[in-house]
A = this chain, B = another copy of it.
Amino acid sequence: MFIPLFTLCGISSLCSSTFYFYLYTFVFYLDTMSSKPSIPKGTRDFSTEEMLKREYIFESIKQIFRLYGYQPIETPAIENLPTLLGKYGEEGDKLLFRILNSGDFLSSLTDDDLAKREYSKLSSRICEKGLRYDLTVPFARYVVQHRDEIVFPFKRYQIQPVWRADRPQKGRYREFFQCDVDVIGSDSLLNEYELIRIIDDIFKKFRISTVIKINNRKILAGIADYIGESGRIIDITIAIDKIDKIGIGNVKSELSSKGLSDEAISSLQPFLQLSGDTSDKLASLSKLLFESEAGMKGITELQALFAYIESSPLTCDVELDLTLARGLNYYTGAIIEVKSKDVSIGSICGGGRYDNLTGVFGMEGVSGVGISFGADRIYDVLNQLDLFNDLKGSSTEVLIVNFGENETKYALKILDQLRGMEVKSELFPDAAKLKKQLSYADSKKIPYIIIAGEEEISKNTITIKIMSSGEQKSMPLDKLSSFVNEEIKRS
């Protein structure tokens, strides 16, 4: 309303910098006046509707983790910085949220220390603690710290938020949940197979069609050996990973620009042209890699894993994908990634085997394998495909209309009866206008309304309004329990 005034009152008469100063001040003023409190960028509030959907996701995942013998642990949100630093690369260190020491955090610093303004060094001296960045490093820390109490193989799951000072963007948050499931202290490929089954069970439950892509780090090592570039495994895989997007020609130029010889690049050719089903591909690979010990080990592992998979009642598609490079710096065996077939949103689950997760904390030689479910992306996929329709009954099922003090006693009796039968129910707390009470029920999507006014009370009856059909039923109060059993519990 005010802004046009500026436009009318002769802007040209104001020197432009003064004008912008006033405009800025004015807009700032407006902003303060109307300002609602807000939350930090990259964080989210979850409304009751969102929470019910999120709980459905977490509960479904948990239930299946437990069915497979995995059990929960939790670790604190706050870890000592030395636990976190150096575990996520240089970039990761920058993305850690650090917690300022309490009290006089400057006390250990000299004036000189301050004057130098070396913020990165200073941050480690004024902060001893940081927020959890993922669940993997805290899990490794947990295993080492509690190794004397843990019985191995240790099958644990962990569902907790993590924090990263990343630049927020669509689908990327500074606070988000991870759902990790890992078994540590067992080399058996049965663990990989069981994780594939867990993935299948979870997405079957969600009715999301998926494809599970599987690779093995040892085969990638074998390929690098084969082309005589054993040290370049990461460059090679990252380039191969782009074939679908940029084509073979561009992949080759990328590899060349990274310093791979023409000879090495041309000897890659057979790996880019594998065809047939998984067993055909594995057979071709063993012909190529027979001289690489790592490569052959990887092939044997995949053959064993696919043998389990083929004789199981899996509903997902599973395919070998040599271009799968995720987490290449720590995975040592299987690499797993899951994509939705119907929604293009990146991977919704992923993981692999690591042979030395706990080594960094001084406990060597413990092999593990695990996967992590992306709850936020699964939420988006379910929303986009409109698959959140199992949530009936998770919010209030019956509202009793409040007609005032005289009717309250009767209403409370009904309420006790409903709750005694485990029916989520409430009495509107105020004797507000009927319209207001009905619109409350409507917005909370409450499917049944009970009306028990003077007339009902005098005849010891109730009137039930079924919101989906608009139908109203009158019945003696003592028929309520059969209505609950026959109608409410069944719908």
Which residues of A approach B to under 8 Å, CB–CB? 35-40, 43-48, 51-52, 54-55, 66-69, 71-80, 82-83, 94-95, 97-100, 102-107, 111, 114-115, 117, 119, 122-123, 126-129, 131, 141-142, 144-146, 149, 151, 153, 155-156, 161, 163, 165, 174-175, 183, 186-188, 190-191, 194, 308, 311-313, 361-362, 394-396, 399, 402, 408-409, 412, 416, 419, 422-430, 439-440, 443-444
* A107 contacts across to B, CB distance below 8 A: 119
* A394 contacts across to B, CB distance below 8 A: 66
| Copies, count | 2
* A115 contacts across to B, CB distance below 8 A: 111, 114-115
* A99 contacts across to B, CB distance below 8 A: 97-100, 131
**What are 29 A-B pairs at a CB distance below 8 A?**
A36-B144, A37-B141, A37-B145, A37-B361, A37-B362, A38-B80, A39-B76, A39-B80, A40-B80, A40-B129, A44-B76, A45-B73, A45-B75, A45-B76, A46-B73, A67-B423, A67-B424, A67-B425, A68-B419, A68-B426, A76-B175, A77-B131, A77-B161, A78-B163, A94-B102, A97-B99, A190-B429, A194-B427, A194-B429
- Tell me if B100 and A127 are in contact (CB < 8 A): yes
Instruction: Kindly state the separation between the CA atoms of A122 and B105 in the bound complex, as whole angstroms.
Output: 10
Instruction: Kindly state the separation between the CA atoms of A55 and B99 in the bound complex, as whole angstroms.
Output: 28
- Tell me if B39 and A151 are in contact (CB < 8 A): no
Residue among B119, B313, B422 making CB contact with A106, cutoff 8 Å = B119
Q: Contacts A74-B46, A163-B77 given: A311-B409 contact, CB under 8 Å?
A: yes
- Tell me if A430 and B188 are in contact (CB < 8 A): yes
* A423 contacts across to B, CB distance below 8 A: 67
What 20 new A-B contacts, CB under 8 Å, besides A46-B74, A100-B100, A114-B114?
Answer: A37-B144, A37-B361, A38-B145, A39-B79, A39-B80, A40-B128, A40-B129, A45-B74, A48-B72, A66-B394, A66-B424, A71-B396, A77-B175, A78-B175, A106-B119, A153-B429, A188-B430, A191-B429, A311-B409, A311-B412
Instruction: Kindly state the separation between the CA atoms of A430 and B186 in the bound complex, as whole angstroms.
Output: 7
Instruction: Kindly state the separation between the CA atoms of A428 and B330 in the bound complex, as whole angstroms.
Output: 26
* A35 contacts across to B, CB distance below 8 A: 362
A427 to chain B, nearest CB (A): 7
* A412 contacts across to B, CB distance below 8 A: 308, 311-312
Minimum CB distance partner of A426 in chain B:
B69
- Tell me if B187 and A430 are in contact (CB < 8 A): yes
- Tell me if A422 and B67 are in contact (CB < 8 A): yes
* A149 contacts across to B, CB distance below 8 A: 47
* A46 contacts across to B, CB distance below 8 A: 72-75
* A106 contacts across to B, CB distance below 8 A: 117, 119, 122
